[in-house]
Structure 1
């Protein structure tokens, strides 16, 4: 674990030293600090999803979004498939382009409330572990705008020093997620965005793992497509019942 800590610290210091940080304008590389929690209620059937994402336009500072997501899910097949639904709150400082310069539009900041439903399923082929997630969102904006969006997420985990995702395992993580607007008359285009991600991770124990990676987000306007460094923590510690 000490070697892992030194590794992540070295990666962080290298990025700090090589990236020019500008708080006044948007840099070419931002960062997302992400926490995912999936807490089993103790019966092996129901889980509570809790999530925090703090997104920055720059490597440090210059907030893009704060996203808070929660929901409840139920396993439908040997804990490999999960049906969930819940609520998301998002506060955003959008980008604007003026004379070829991209910067934050503080006057246009807005809030968004979402309800969502999803189906998630997992399987593996050899030592490659796949996750498929199908999510549908109803998006309510504070200017009374309403939009519908569908998302498909495909992830792969490849353990490096073990055959499966057991404790003390280093692994590679990849995902691609495509977002499609399904109510195009109120949206700029059918295609909303695509996220492509690659990372290295470490499984500390059956419930806790961490990743450091890079995500490329492409949107309709190429001026606003960005690279985002991601630090992600996954927590699957169960919620024990009082009589346990």
Structure 2
């Protein structure tokens, strides 16, 4: 079995188990997301990023506002995209409190796309983050995301086509000591996503889905709506 097929089998197993064993199925929040990407003309450089607005509930109780953008580099003879970027994160408290905390984050990323069996679109994303979290010591984090998109009505993800969208992302902390005698686990969290996408045209596609996030102490379901924009 090739690495790609093993990765596909692993994704399917994790996705199924996460869906069946969500820890808190009644605690559902929402994420509204906009992703953008642009490749400069006649250049190996571009930009990409995202805006994410997350709620503890469907709307109104801020969980997190994330603004992220980076410069991309596409080597001429390699099917990989590198990114160097920055993110600013504002996190809110659950419930009636209006308290927030801030984080600045620098990240490096490698994105490796694959097509398996003529129909399965796999993407491996490796991300390394340097985190400056309010009232904590400097921290780092490692992330690996395996994406899988499968078109329903055609063999390619092209305009007017619906597709299944799945992913599983693992987060691992680089340190356990975060200052003032406080510690976190090496395992930070795991996210599993099940969704349906629609390609409007060559530039825009939409996704609607459900994501389950597990940390060392709890789990939470998230309803997600996203727009993906190439310009």
What TM-score, normalized by structure 1, do the two folds share? 0.78
Name the residue aligned to 1:119: 110
Q: Aligned-residue CA RMSD in angstroms?
A: 1.6
Answer yes or no: is the 8 Å Cα contact 1:209–1:234 preserved in 2. yes
Name the residue aligned to 1:229: 223
Distance 2:46 2:198 in 1: 23
Answer yes or no: is the 8 Å Cα contact 1:138–1:149 preserved in 2. yes
1:140 and 2:132 matched = yes
Query: Alignment partner of 1:76: what SS?
Result: coil
Distance 1:54 1:147 in 2: 23
Answer yes or no: is the 8 Å Cα contact 2:62–2:93 preserved in 1. no
Distance 1:104 1:132 in 2: 39
Q: Which blocks of at least 5 consecutive residues in structure 1 are unaligned?
A: 1-26, 96-102, 238-244
Q: How many residues align?
A: 201
Q: Per-residue CA shift, 1:119-157, capped at 9, x if unaligned?
A: 110011120000000000000022252111000000000
Per mean C-alpha deviation after superposition, the further-off stretch among 178-187 and 109-118 is 178-187
Kindly state the Cα deviation for residue 50 of structure 1 after the two structures are TM-superposed: 2.5
Query: Alignment partner of 1:235: what SS?
Result: strand
Q: Find 1:157's aligned residue among 141, 144, 149.
A: 149
Kindly state the Cα deviation for residue 167 of structure 1 after the two structures are TM-superposed: 1.0
Name the residue aligned to 2:70: 71
Q: Per-residue CA shift, 1:167-207, capped at 9, x if unaligned?
A: 11110000000000011233411000000001000011122
What TM-score, normalized by structure 2, do the two folds share? 0.82
Name the residue aligned to 1:6: none
Distance 2:32 2:119 in 1: 28
The structure whose Rg is larger is 1
**Structure 1 residues 104 and 119: CA distance shift in structure 2, 3 A:** farther
Identify which of structures 1 and 2 has the higher relative contact order when contacts are C-alpha pairs closer than 8 Å and 6+ apart.
2
